[in-house]
């Protein structure tokens, strides 16, 4: 049984974002400058005026912001994203809603959102399907919708969140979204639960909150630099958020990872990670990168260009779907874990499949958030 606070096999240090300012102090020579400028604009007879004498008195120094100081700023990036999904058995179409520059989608009992500064995936727990009055699909879709709306607040100049842009925390986003979705569920008395993974990009930091068995990985130069772990109470019994669940957003794992330009982020529901091994996912990513690499010369190193996150998400989702439909002669992560528990499972795992792929790129237009 998994324990709260379970950590990844990777080692990370969570960095609290800070904001630095460079200040100058008004020089004491202000009075001399005032005297020179004043003497040019008034008559000599007025030089003895008490107003002028008061101006010559030393003035209290005031701090000023030096916006021209040479300060080292953080690199700013954004996400170029794509997504794909398949609903389990029913083959229903993916329901997509576009809000400005963001997209939220429903895939069976899965749901996800994607935008230039954040991505998220939620997997509604299918175990509720036989319970009257349940709807796990509603839990996952509402959670992702509210998470996307919470991210919108950082772009609203009339919202206090606008001035907290740099402090955006996916754990807080998850908590607030969960509370809103729980309130809606209580109004209608609908049962259900969902797992969730949310990642927020700020400058060169990817901040992640993950609860349950959704997953996220970061690939750089054809190697993994980060991979989240599942949170399971028991085999096929993940941590989950819902009206009857004891799990809370505070039980989620939290990570902060430094990213670089060109990093490939893969986030998915367990429909992806139960059917494809990490090495298989990495191999598919490598093939796509190779297909978009310009060979090097004696004067120039190979260059990767025109990576298409939508094409890569389609490749991964289709590979997971094909595996899930195989009844034998296939090795899957889910099958191996089942056998370790003494359960006989053969073939792929039929499940909703959601895949979001994001590629880190330079942010061309950085918003001015000075007060």
Tokens linked to 222: 């054809």
The pTM for the full model equals 0.77
**Other Cβ atoms within 10 Å of 105 Cβ, number:** 22
Burial of 186: CB neighbours in 10 Å, binned 0-12, 13-18, 19+: exposed
DSSP, res 160: G
**Other Cβ atoms within 10 Å of 4 Cβ, number:** 12
Q: Which residues on adjacent β-strands are paired with residue 354?
A: 85
Spatial distance between the Cα atoms of 183 and 167, rounded to a whole number of angstroms: 26
Between strands 241-242 and 193-202, the pairing is: antiparallel
- Contacts of residue 245, defined as CB under 8 A and 6 or more positions apart, other chains included, come to 193
Tokens linked to 160: 């206090």
Q: Which fold has domain 79-294+301-362?
A: Phosphatase 2c; domain 1 (3.60.40)
In tens digits, the chain (371 residues) has pLDDT values of 443 444 333 333 334 443 333 334 334 444 444 444 434 444 444 444 444 444 445 554 555 545 454 444 567 899 999 999 999 865 454 556 665 567 889 999 999 999 999 999 999 998 887 788 788 899 999 999 999 999 999 999 999 999 999 999 999 999 999 999 999 988 988 899 999 999 999 999 999 999 999 999 999 999 999 999 999 999 999 999 998 899 999 999 999 999 999 999 999 999 999 999 999 999 999 999 999 988 878 888 878 888 999 999 999 999 999 999 998 889 999 999 999 999 988 889 999 999 999 999 998 765 555 44
Spatial distance between the Cα atoms of 199 and 217, rounded to a whole number of angstroms: 11
In the chain, where the domains are located: 29-61, 79-294+301-362
């Amino acid at each position: 049984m998994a324990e709260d606070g379970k950590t990844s096999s990777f080692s990370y240090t969570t960095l609290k974002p800070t904001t630095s300012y460079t200040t100058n102090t008004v020089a004491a020579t202000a009075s001399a400058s005032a005297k020179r400028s004043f003497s040019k604009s008034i008559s000599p007879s007025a030089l003895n005026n008490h107003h002028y004498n008061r101006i010559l008195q030393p003035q209290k120094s005031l701090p000023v912001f030096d916006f021209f100081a040479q300060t080292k700023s953080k690199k700013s990036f954004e996400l170029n994203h794509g997504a794909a999904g398949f609903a389990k058995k029913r083959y229903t179409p993916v329901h997509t809603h576009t809000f400005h520059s963001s997209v939220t989608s429903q895939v069976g009992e899965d749901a996800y959102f994607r935008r230039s500064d954040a991505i998220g995936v939620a997997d509604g727990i299918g175990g509720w399907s036989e319970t009257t009055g349940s709807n796990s699909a509603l839990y996952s879709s509402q959670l992702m919708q509210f998470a996307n709306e919470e991210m919108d607040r950082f772009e609203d100049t009339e919202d206090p969140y606008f001035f907290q842009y740099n402090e955006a925390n996916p754990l807080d986003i998850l908590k607030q979204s969960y509370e809103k979705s729980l309130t809606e569920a209580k109004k209608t008395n609908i049962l259900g639960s969902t797992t969730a993974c949310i990642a927020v990009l700020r400058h060169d930091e990817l901040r992640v909150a993950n609860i349950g068995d959704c997953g996220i990985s970061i690939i750089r130069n054809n190697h993994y630099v980060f991979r989240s772990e599942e949170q399971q109470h028991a085999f096929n019994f993940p941590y989950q958020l819902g009206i009857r669940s004891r799990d809370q957003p505070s039980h989620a794992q939290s990570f902060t990872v430094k990213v670089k330009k060109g990093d490939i982020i893969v986030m998915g529901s367990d429909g992806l990670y139960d059917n494809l091994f990490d090495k298989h996912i990495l191999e598919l990513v490598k093939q796509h990168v190779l297909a978009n690499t310009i060979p090097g010369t004696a004067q120039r190193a190979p260059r990767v260009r025109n990576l298409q996150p939508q094409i890569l998400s389609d490749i991964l989702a289709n590979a997971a779907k094909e595996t899930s439909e195989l009844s034998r002669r296939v090795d899957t992560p889910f099958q191996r874990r089942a056998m370790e528990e003494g359960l006989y499972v053969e073939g792929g795992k039929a499940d909703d499949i959601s895949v979001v792929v994001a590629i880190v790129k330079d942010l061309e237009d950085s918003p001015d958030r000075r007060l």
